């Protein structure tokens, strides 16, 4: 019986997501200590939503929705 390492499973999942059109990034870019971090220093590593990207996507996909409604939706999803 063959076993896969956590790294192999992660890479296979990333490849599948890319094939479906999702954008992926490396750990180095997400790290709060990198040049242009995707996470703020106060964000936890076990949180799956990158708040900056999510906020930008909500605004891009819902341009006619008032800002207050966008922010409310973001808060509800992140909770």
Quick one: tokens of 57? 């996507």
Q: pTM here?
A: 0.59
Could you tell me the residue ranges of all domains in the chain?
A: 1-41, 49-79
pLDDT tens-place string over residues 2-35: 888 888 898 899 899 999 998 887 766 666 666 6
Asked whether residue 76 carries a pLDDT value surpassing 80, the answer given is yes
Tell me if 24 sits within 8 A of 17, measured CB to CB.
yes
Asked whether residue 42 carries a pLDDT value surpassing 90, the answer given is no
Quick one: tokens of 78? 């992140």
Q: Average per-residue pLDDT in the chain?
A: 83
Tell me if 18 sits within 8 A of 24, measured CB to CB.
yes
Torsion angles phi and psi, residue 77, rounded to 5: -70, -40
Packed helices 67-78 and 51-61: angle between N→C axes, nearest 10 degrees: 140
């Amino acid at each position: 019986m063959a076993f896969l390492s956590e790294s192999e499973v992660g890479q296979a999942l990333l490849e599948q997501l890319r094939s479906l059109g999702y954008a992926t990034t490396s750990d180095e870019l997400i790290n709060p200590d990198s040049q242009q971090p995707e996470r703020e220093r106060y964000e936890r590593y076990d949180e799956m939503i990158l708040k900056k990207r999510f906020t930008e996507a909500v605004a891009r996909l819902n341009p006619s929705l008032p800002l207050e409604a966008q922010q409310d939706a973001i808060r509800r999803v992140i909770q």
